[in-house]
Amino acid sequence: MSDEEQSERRARGLATYREVYGDNAALPEGGQADFFDLLIIDQQFSEVWSRKALPIPSRRLLTIGVLAATRRFDVIELQFKRALETGELTPEQVREVAIHLITYVGTPSSGGLYGAGEAAIRHHEGTGSED
């Protein structure tokens, strides 16, 4: 891959990353985390999230399902917050996603999943702490 192609790939990945997580999403400083640049920006966001066959809202729901299965409620909360921010989901839909996923990931995950959704809704509505 030429330097120009790599530069275009990185730019596409960064643009998609910001679309998924927002303009204020944290990124390691350039060159500080080569694995992040290569695996996350250049591959995951440039080559996967940017594909046109599934729009970002659909990819986000798939990702939330995987995160629920792996009990990554901290990242689910970030995904829910961004989905609320962009209008991809309403508070009612966030709750419905949690209800739906609990039936698949089990009741031991219900508290964390419910908590992530409610924290995102409180943040979105500005009615409480983010905890």
Give the pair of three-digit tokens for residue 88: 């991809």
Distances from the Cα of 131 to the Cα of 21, 101, 128, angstroms: 19, 21, 8
pLDDT at 33 (0 to 100) = 63
CA 34 to chain centroid, in Å, comes to 21
pLDDT at 115 (0 to 100) = 95
pLDDT at 116 (0 to 100) = 96
Q: For residue 67, count CB atoms less than 10 angstroms from its CB and return exposed for 0-12, middle for 13-18, buried for 19 or more.
A: buried
* One pLDDT digit (tens) per residue for the chain, 131 residues: 788 888 898 899 999 999 999 988 887 776 666 777 778 888 889 999 999 999 999 999 999 999 999 999 999 999 999 999 999 999 999 999 999 999 999 988 899 999 999 999 999 999 765 44
**How far is 129 from 121, CA to CA, in rounded Å?**
10
pLDDT at 129 (0 to 100) = 58
Across 93-119, b (16+ Cβ under 10 Å) vs e yields: ebbebbeebbeebeeebeebbbebbbb
CA 24 to chain centroid, in Å, comes to 13
pLDDT at 101 (0 to 100) = 95
pLDDT at 128 (0 to 100) = 64
pLDDT at 41 (0 to 100) = 86
DSSP code per residue over 6-38: HHHHHHHHHHHHHHHH-TT---PPTTS-HHIII
